[in-house]
Each structure stands twice: as C-alpha cells, then as structure tokens.
Structure 1
C-alpha cells in the first residue's frame, strides 16, 4: 500500500498533531511564572525613548536647515549688515541660545546676540576640512554642552563672514511625569544633558534621597550600556524582515531598590524616513535614554495554573484518542476489510461469503460484493437473474463518523477559546501604562505645536525675501520655498482686499485678517479635508500677507507612533482635524468619553497634563486614553487644539492578556487541526468511497459496460481495481453462458 495515500496517513497525522497541540498546551497555556517587569512596560519605555529621539532629531535638523536656508537666502540678495542679519534671524526664529557673525579674514566678531558663543574651537579644519561646516558639539566653561551650527555669508566687497549659532542639547521640554528621567548620551556613554532628576532634588527624607542617588547611579551605568548597544548597525540590531524604528532602540533592566526596578528605554537618533535624505542629527552619535523605576512584580510560580494547563492537555489527549478510535472503528477498519474481500473475489476465491460491515458506504459495498460473489458462481449464490438489494444497514455514511470526530474535538476547542483564561475587563492595567500614554500624547502634542510654529516662522523668514514690485521674482521665491518646505501644499500672497497677488502650488483658499486676525487657522467645514493655513505679514507692505497651506498628510505623519494606538488632533469642539489612521474632516470622536476627556484637558491646561489620562471600561473591553492640549508658546499655542490618543488595552503585553491570547490560539490551532485532517479524510476517502458504493451497486445490478478507473493509489483505489477485474470476469462469464446454448442446438456444428 502507498505510504502517502489512503486512510492511514490523515489519521496518523491527526494523532501527531493532537499530541503536539497537547504538548504546546501544557507548556504555554497558563504559565505560572510572572516577569519581574511586564513586557508591556518595557515596550512602553522603548517607545518613549524613540519618541524623545525623534523629537530631538527633528529639533536639531530644523535648526541646521533653518540656518542654512537663511544663509542661502541672504547670499542670493545684496550683502546685509551683520547686525541686521542677527536681528532678522532672532525675529523669525527663537530657537538659538546665541548667534555670532565673525570675519573669516581676521576672526573679528562683527555682531553677537544672546549667549556668548565660544570661538576657540573654530580652526582651519572646521572651515576647510573634509567635514567643513559640520555641526560640532562644544562644552562650555560651565560644563554645559552646546551644538554649534555654521553657515558662510557673503559680506560687502567680497568679504566672507561666518554665521555661528549655538543651541543646547537638552531633552525635549515635555512632561516626564513622576519619577521619570531622561538623558542625552554621547558616544562612549558620556551624559550630555538630563531632565527629571531636578524634580526630585527637593526631597527631604533620607530614604527619598537614597532612592534618588540610586536612580542617578543607575542612569549612569545604563546610559553607558545603551551607548554600547546603539553602536551596532540598525539593520542587524533587528530581527530579519522586521520593521519599526529606523535607528537602534531597545530596553534594559537595572537593579532594584525598595521594591522598585529601574527600567531603561534607549534609542539612537535616526532619520524618520529614508526618503528624507541625510540627517545631521543622526550623524552626531547621540542616544536618548529614558529611565523609570517600576514596581517589581511577583515572580512566584502559580502551581494551580500550571496544573490547569496539564489538565487541559490531558483532556485534549483523551478526546483525541477517542476521536481516533471512532475513525479507526468506523472508517479505517471497514475499508481495509473491503480491500481484502475485493482482492479475494478478484483472485477467484468464492467459497467464503463476503464479510459485510454493519452500516454506511462500507455496508453497501460489502452487500454488493456478496451479490457479485453469487453471480460469479459462489456457494449459495444465484446464476439466474439478479435479486433485489438487501434492506437495512445502509442509512448514514462515513460522513457521520467525521462529524462525530469533529464534535469530540470541538468539545475541547470551544471551551478553551471562549471560557479559559478570559479577562472580561477585570485585568489590572499598570498605572505606568496610563502615565506613558499620557506623557507620549503630550510629546506628540508638543511636536505638532512646534511644527506649526516652525511653519509660521518659515513664512516670516520667506516674507522678508519677497519683492512684490517684481511679480516674476516673487513667484520664483514662492516656488523655491515650496520645493524646500514639504509641509506646504500651496503658498500665496494675499492683498488687503483678499485678492491673490502671487501664488505657487495648489489652489488658494480665502484669507481675511479682518474677520480672523490669528496667524494659524483652520477652515474647510463641509469639505473633504480640513484646510490648515499659516500666515506672516509682508514687511513694509501693509495689508499684505504671505499664506501657506499646511498639508494634512504632514500633520498625520506627526501622529503615527507605534504603541500609542489611534491619535488625532481635534479642535475646541472635539472635531477631528488630523489623524494617524484616516478620518473624515471635522468628524467627532468615536468614544463617548473622549470628548469629555478633551474638555477636561483644556480646563486643566494651566496645571499641565498630569491628570489627562484615564481607563475606559466598556463591558469586557478596556481602553487607555489620554489628551494633551497645545501649550508651551508660539502662535499655535492659542489655537485651542488638543491631541487625543486611545488604544485597546488588550494589545498590551500583559500576562493576563497573553494567557487569553494563548488560549484563543490553542483553540484556533485545534480548529485548524480538525479542518486539515478531517477535510483530508473527506476528500481522499469519504467522497471516493461514496462513488465506489454507487459503482459497486450498479455492477451488482448488472451494469457490465461501465469501466472502473481508480482515482487514487490507496485502499479505495485498490477496491476499484478489484471491482474492474470482477467486472471483466462477469463479462467473460456472461459471454461463455451465451455461447453454450448456441453450441448445443442441432446443426450448430460443422459437417
């Protein structure tokens, strides 16, 4: 018999898969050991560090790009006075701690604003080396680190000036929540800046001061390890084929103190999108480290859960053996008997009657073989006309045992998937997860606010380059700015009466300073998408405004962060203006509690987002939500917009949810086992067996013309081949019987 066909392989596979599923169930279904720190908490720390790294990278790159763009614009026109350059720069952008213009010929300082910029680091290599004018990190006498950005300006009479701007490498100014601290780490593990520890320096008790000292030591040690981890290649640092953060990120678990464990998330600065091109900040070798002490979980083994997993595996083995016994008794054993009986008849052994199975297709085939044995001349047979089919024992079929087997296995799959390890909304969500949802939402809100402020600042800088007396030159400036600033979809100059003086990009929308004096506004009610506009008055042109329409896709891209769920920007009426997963313009929020959360966040805007997170329980579903209003300054801070985020807590890597997911997975694997094995038996055995029963009954009824071809080289095929041999024998016997009367008639022989 063939090894890969027939009834035996699917039943053997069913046995193997049942044992494998039972072993998997005993191993992973309801494990007792609890991790010291939940995986969800570690993943959240990693995402928090990634968000901080993205914010710091964007801040550094924007500073560098703005300085270079300003220098390019100044060099394209007439040489400007150094004092005028720094004055216009400070009016357009308030992001540098100090700016200086010096003469490259003699090193003389021509103008300076803000913090004094040290110049001892400026040498020939900085200006003419392979990495000329590359931003440098310089440590001040106070110990603080500044990032120096440079650009060359064309002065009067062919002189060249060097524009130097310094800014700090501080952690993005976001709410870190209680007990969290962040650090910016250089190559080698040197900590350049920290935030969060100063919130705890006012502690009075000795225990609190000891804990603060412990956390500072942990930050130093784990920052050094994080810097080592980020030295590896970002591609090799991830599993093959995995996506996610483009840089190197991960988590570390430090020591414990007073029942709490220090957890660290780290992320290297990397470009957010490979299509964005090179990132200056990504080449600085910086790493953002986020440290948070969390309550240590119990690590004791729950013997009852482990025993419960063993009992579930034992129940599967018991039901599986019963199901296999049903298939063996009702399908395999009768089929093998028919194979032996049909082969015996085909060889001419007609003495012993055919053993007829009790029911189903096998009984029909056995009864037909017994009738055929009589037609072949066996004992107690009949050579005369074919008799009627025997009655009884033919109802049902092989599909009944398959259905019974499926029911037996479903008796295990359904309770395991629907009843075992169910959470039903009773899972305790760690407070850290709610805090992280709130703090990360605050970080996204800060990024979106800064992006809108940056968009308006770019318009201020561009408006100083416009010469409205030269329409062609104005359009050239607008087109060039539109190419450089991908955040805009259209740029246009609006006159005092609302008419469009010059434009570039898409179709402009109405803008009126009389009806709405705000410099950033949103319109488009009733349209397919909101229209977000930013404006800047054109200097020395009363009533003229340079307007830029911010692409909604740009705002959407700021909201897409892994591990944060769905994120939206809403206005004061809780109507959607941008979203991470698609939205309709000005649609409401899906959850009834979310608008209330948005309103509460705006009421508490003065106190910050410390309480702007909550758990929403709806039946068995738990949702973690947070809201953060636009605060912190700039033209976008007065919009009344709020970033709101929410996600299903079932996505968290919490032990209770993992147990529930494993139970559902075990149930689905069991259902897949039923479909594969029983479907195999139905296609390869049951359907051919039903066709064979009909063919055998036709042959027993006298149909000797139909030729029987085996479809498969298995037990059913072997019976079909024997049936074909029997058909040929019956045909030869009938021909012989037809010749005998002709030969016995007078005169039939020759003379």
Structure 2
C-alpha cells in the first residue's frame, strides 16, 4: 500500500532511535553501579605484566644467544682448557647461576662453576634429533626450576664437549614499586618464582602476616587463572593483547581484604609476531602475572542517576517536538493531497480542493483546484485558482526539516561539546603516576642492559681478532655483524685512529683514545640526521687496537616502544633526544620545559645515586603524566648520563571523568548521525520528489497534456502522481472529444 511508504517510516525510525538513544544516554551518563576498581589501574597491571613478559623473554633469549655465540667463537679458535672457557665466560657475562663443561664420550665433568648442575635429565632425546640441544626447564632436588642451556664445543682432534649453563627463571629484575608483586608461572598454573612479597619474619603484627598470607593465596589463584587464559594461541586469540602487545594478555580481579581488592594483569611470553615466535623464551609456555591490592572506589549513585535521566528526558521531549513538527508540516498536508487527488481521479468534482497554506503542498493543492475546474468546465474557478497559486518559495518543506534539525541540535551540541567537559582539575589515581615512573625505570634498565650487552659482545669478539691478519679480522667482523643486528657497522682502529678492518657502513664519527671522554659508550654526530652511538673494546694482546661498534638508533627505538606508556625518549645529560619511540630530530630538545626540568631533577643524586621521578603536569585544560628514570646500576652504560623520559596525556587512561566526557561526545555524535539519517531520508524520498511533483502539477494545470507523469516511489507522493496522471488522461480525452465535436459541423457543410 502506498501509505506504508513515504514519510511515516522515517518519522517512526526517528522516534525509535530517539528512544533508544535516550535509554543509552541514561545508562552511560548515569551511575556506574557496584563498587569498582578503576579501569585505568587494571589496565596498568596488564601493562606491567606485559613489560615483565618482554623483559623475561629478552633475558632468556639473550642468555641462550650469548652462550651459543661464545661456543661458536671458541670453536673457531684454538682448543681451550675447560677451566679457561668457564673463566672467560664468567668474566664476560655475569648471568648464569652455574656452568659446566662435560666430556660427551665419557660423561665426565671437566670443569664446573657456581651451583651444581644435575645431569640426570641428559639423555639421547636431549642430545639428538630435531630438538637437540634445545633449552630445557629442569627441577632441582631443592624444588627450584632452572633453565638449562647447552652448546657444543667441537675442536679438531679432540673429543666433543658439552657446555651447559643454568639460570633461574626468576622474576625480571625490575622496579615493582610499593605493594606490587609479580610471579613467573608455568603451564598448568605452577608458580615458579615470585617477587615483591615481604618476608613474614620481618612483619611486626599478626594482622600484617594475615594480609601477607591472603595476598600469597591470591597470587596462587590468579596465577592459575592467568596461565589458563594465556594458553590461547596468540595468533587466533580473541583478545591477543593491549594496544600492540603481540602476546596474550589481560586483567583479573581477585578477592578483597580490609577494603582492598587484589587486581592482576597477566601476559604470556608466546607471541603472534613471526620473528618472536622463533625465540626460546616464547616456546617455554611461561606467563608473567603482576598483582597489586587496590582500594575499591564507589561510584556516586543518585546524583549521576538523576543526571542521566534528566539528559535522556530532555532528548525525549525534543524528539517528540521534532516528530510533531514533521507530522504537522509534512505528513498531514501530504495525506490531504493524496485524498484530494484520488477524489479528482475518481471523478468527484462537486466540491473545491482545500489548498494547504504554504510550501510545495500549497502549490500542488492550487494545481489540483485548477484541474478540478478544468474538468468541470468552470472557467471562472480556473482563473480564480490560477490567481492564488501556492507560493513557490525557495525553501518550502526544507524549512520544517531545518527546524527539526535545529531542535535536535539543541540537544546534541550541548551534550557533545559542553556536558562532562574535563579540565586540569581531573583527579588522576596516584597508582597511575607511580606505575608510569616504575615502568619508565624498567625501560631505562632495559636500554642500559642492552648497551652493556653490546659492549660485552664487542669484548667477546675481540678475542677472535688477529692483529696481524687484516683479512681474517674483516671476516670475523662480517660474521659478528650478521649475528649482532644491533650494529650498523664494526671496525678496528689503530692507535692513530685509522681503520684497519671494517664490516658494514662507513664509520660515522671518530673514536680517539686521547679524548677526555674515555667511556666505552659514546654519542657523536651532533648536527647530523642521526645520533651516532658508539661502543668500544680494546683488542687484547694488540696494543693500540680498538674494536668499535656503531649501534643503530633504530635498535634503541625498538626497545622504547611499550603499550600504554605514551611517548618515550632517551636523552643525554643536556636533555637532548638520542632515541625515541616515535619520530624525532637528532639532539632536539624536549617539547616542554617542564619535561626538561623533570630530567634535571632526576639527575640529582639522592643517597647512592640518581633516582626516578614521576609527576602530574597540569597545563591549560590538559593533564600529563610524566616520569624520568636516569641510568643506574652496573655496567659500562651506567655512567653515560642518559635518562629515559616518558609522558602521556591522562586522557589515555580509563578514568571516570574522561570516560564520561567520551560518552557525552559519543551521545552527541550519535544524535548527529540520527539527524543526518532520518532527515536525509525524508528529504530524499519525500521533499525532493514533492518539489518535482509541484512543478509537474503546475505544468499540467497550465495546459501541458503531453508530458506523462509516472511515480518513482510507492508512497503518498507516488499516489498523488498516479492520480494526476489519471487526471491528465481525462483532460486529454476531454480535449480530443471537444476537437472531434468541433470538426463534425465543418465536415457536414462540406458534404452538401
């Protein structure tokens, strides 16, 4: 039926969408309901677990890689005494709890350092087959679990030897901050190691010991749940990770105790990244769980509920007014025209057509009255109707559509742009500032360790350099460059600074032993496109020769990217940028003076050395969470004077005020979409065809009987068009009959 189309469906849809939007508005702008833990705090625990998983995977892979590279370097040289092998290994890398050299033929232990390594787990499957010498997790008699890494020592005319190194699967050495604990969990939920718990003997009261026991039980339960969740394949997992983390991660809620609830994040070491899937750490089935007891927050109830209901009620009122306006200005006149046109098409010409007051419907009504007069032969009525044609106007029915849009915009604009707006007074949980600081310190530690590893790799490579054979030295450098992707170039310099052998790119900066800066990690290239980061190591038994490696800036940049940490940069003692997680200019200053001040404050020594800092920066209407962590700890990179600084807008956190602001903006945008869809629909299927109908009706009333009128839509406008076509046919037949009757007398006169 034609009355089922036209303007009724969009008006009905408008009403339904307004009711749905009002319900959604009342829900999202109302109270949160039950006691909650801030989502930002939960997300922060997830990020902490992800950082721990990244650090643990990198630590495991580095240990395996270092042992294999050491064995390869030894195999390329002259046979070495087992005691000398372990001595050089421990001097270069201080990372294994125990090392052993084993004669494969006799099974005799040739040398051992550190803790005793059991050998009962060694069998044919470990030493042969497709998975030969693959690192294994082995449980000691004490119950502790160790990761056993193996490498083959193979020299000509000497029995093969097996180099075994064990290390604990302990929680990465990262700053957990106060009250946070972390666990390394195996498949099945077994906790292999924990960190962050106080010793029961150090507590002063039974209440503190009871709380410690509660937290330890919660860690066990949450670890089991986290390990089960992390069993998903990271490639096909429904929620693989948060904002860029390639493995499976998520959040968990535990029980509450003394008003604090145990919140946890978990992250698997397995990765969806094709390159990381090849790593040893990713294949061990380990999961890292970070837990923090947090005070529950209660949402404000009645005020927020009333607020949401008021906003939704205003929308319903405006929606009803808009629907009433469309009904009165468009639907009723259009239905009236439909009935009048159908009456004329059926031949009912007894009463005049009631002409609407204005717009396209008035033009069509005036044309119908003229057509009625023409059909009835009332010339005077035709002239009278022609004298009071409906006003053409430029806008017509577009005016009520515009008024409807303005009426709805009176709700959308204030809700989207004015309600729930935040400013610099937003309260940010102190946990977020502490976590930003602790995670920044973790990144600083990771970069420092990477630089120490780079210099240690150079030390290991120098033992293979033959100062008297430049060609052989070049081959050693080429091989080292292929294995160590962190370098852009490797070259050996003599005492005068001349290049003796080189692999990779041309040296980008000089390295002189006469410089005041005698550190083994240096930065040069000021004024160029990229900072030049150099690491050096003296070649033993070759006085004056130095092996220099230029570390790629891209390698450092890759270490800085962390989900949920914002912008991260490495700066020197003058707060100039050396590396960054996003694009930067070499040696550029930080974008804010407050960030520079934070770097300077972090460099001030407190006690034994500089400490990390975190703070809120309130500028204008925005709140920024920033943290700075200077390098500290051991190794050659500890004294370079670098600092890792991170910052991000607090809007990135899932904090209630920002969530309400986002919801208000979303409600306003949905309202705008509602206006565009419904009013655009009415304009396309009603207003535009009606304007064309008005023009066609006026032409027909002016005597254009040749143009055939055909409907494009099966609605009210289409019904009026069909009726006008019937009227046109009637007028055309009437004119033909009149012409035939007027021609008959002339034919008769010609016949006599």
Q: TM-score range by the shorter chain?
A: over 0.9
8 Å contact 2:369–2:385 — kept in the other structure?
A: no
Offset of 1:45 from its aligned partner? 0.7
**Partners of 2:715 and 2:493 in 1: CA distance:** 84
**Partners of 1:240 and 1:338 in 2: CA distance:** 60
**Partners of 1:141 and 1:55 in 2: CA distance:** 28
The alignment covers a number of residue pairs equal to: 750
Q: Which residue pairs with 1:286 in the alignment?
A: 286
**Partners of 1:512 and 1:392 in 2: CA distance:** 89
- The aligned runs of 1:547-626 (5 Å cut-off) are 547-604=548-605, 612-626=613-627
Structural RMSD (CA)? 2.9
**Partners of 2:745 and 2:367 in 1: CA distance:** 33
Are 2:500 and 1:501 equivalent residues in the alignment?
yes
8 Å contact 1:519–1:635 — kept in the other structure?
A: yes
Offset of 1:115 from its aligned partner? 4.3
Offset of 1:357 from its aligned partner? 0.8
Structure 2: any 5+ residue segments left out of the alignment?
none
Q: Which residue pairs with 2:451 in the alignment?
A: 452
**Partners of 1:511 and 1:202 in 2: CA distance:** 54
State the Cα deviation string for residues 594-624 of structure 1 (Å, max 9, x = none): 1111111111465678661111122332211
Q: 1:693 and 1:499, CA in 2 relative to 1: closer, same or farther beyond 3 A? A: farther
Q: Which residue pairs with 1:327 in the alignment?
A: 326
Offset of 1:232 from its aligned partner? 4.2
Offset of 1:65 from its aligned partner? 1.0
State the Cα deviation string for residues 8-28 of structure 1 (Å, max 9, x = none): 221111111111112222223
Offset of 1:279 from its aligned partner? 1.8
8 Å contact 1:482–1:490 — kept in the other structure?
A: yes
Q: Which residue pairs with 2:696 in the alignment?
A: 695
Q: 1:50 and 1:297, CA in 2 relative to 1: closer, same or farther beyond 3 A? A: same
**Which is worse superposed, 519-528 or 630-639?**
519-528
Task: Give the alignment's TM-score, normalised by structure 2.
Answer: 0.92
Offset of 1:70 from its aligned partner? 1.7
Are 2:636 and 1:635 equivalent residues in the alignment?
yes
Structure 1: any 5+ residue segments left out of the alignment?
none
Q: Which residue pairs with 1:262 in the alignment?
A: 262
Q: Which residue pairs with 1:538 in the alignment?
A: 539
**Partners of 1:537 and 1:377 in 2: CA distance:** 115
State the Cα deviation string for residues 442-494 of structure 1 (Å, max 9, x = none): 11111111112212222222232233544443333333322222222333333
- The aligned runs of 1:297-696 (5 Å cut-off) are 297-298=297-298, 302-379=301-378, 381=380, 387-390=386-389, 396-513=395-512, 514-515=514-515, 516-604=517-605, 612-696=613-697
Structure 2 counterpart SS, 1:677: helix
- The aligned runs of 1:199-210 (5 Å cut-off) are 202-210=202-210
8 Å contact 2:366–2:390 — kept in the other structure?
A: no
Q: 1:706 and 1:104, CA in 2 relative to 1: closer, same or farther beyond 3 A? A: same
Q: 1:587 and 1:738, CA in 2 relative to 1: closer, same or farther beyond 3 A? A: farther
Structure 1 counterpart SS, 2:275: helix
Offset of 1:667 from its aligned partner? 1.3
**Partners of 1:189 and 1:384 in 2: CA distance:** 94
State the Cα deviation string for residues 59-104 of structure 1 (Å, max 9, x = none): 0111001111221222233322323323332333222233222222
Q: 1:126 and 1:747, CA in 2 relative to 1: closer, same or farther beyond 3 A? A: closer
Q: 1:235 and 1:512, CA in 2 relative to 1: closer, same or farther beyond 3 A? A: closer
Are 2:713 and 1:712 equivalent residues in the alignment?
yes
Structure 1 counterpart SS, 2:603: helix
Q: 1:277 and 1:406, CA in 2 relative to 1: closer, same or farther beyond 3 A? A: same
State the Cα deviation string for residues 140-181 of structure 1 (Å, max 9, x = none): 566654322111101462311111122232222221111112
Structure 2 counterpart SS, 1:167: strand
State the Cα deviation string for residues 576-597 of structure 1 (Å, max 9, x = none): 2222222222222223321111
Offset of 1:323 from its aligned partner? 0.6
**Partners of 1:127 and 1:410 in 2: CA distance:** 75
**Partners of 1:348 and 1:542 in 2: CA distance:** 118
State the Cα deviation string for residues 166-221 of structure 1 (Å, max 9, x = none): 22322222211111122223334433322222488644344334333332333233
**Which is worse superposed, 178-187 or 390-399?**
390-399
Q: 1:202 and 1:703, CA in 2 relative to 1: closer, same or farther beyond 3 A? A: same
Structure 2 counterpart SS, 1:433: helix
Offset of 1:433 from its aligned partner? 1.2
8 Å contact 1:34–1:655 — kept in the other structure?
A: no
Structure 1 counterpart SS, 2:314: helix
8 Å contact 1:386–1:702 — kept in the other structure?
A: no
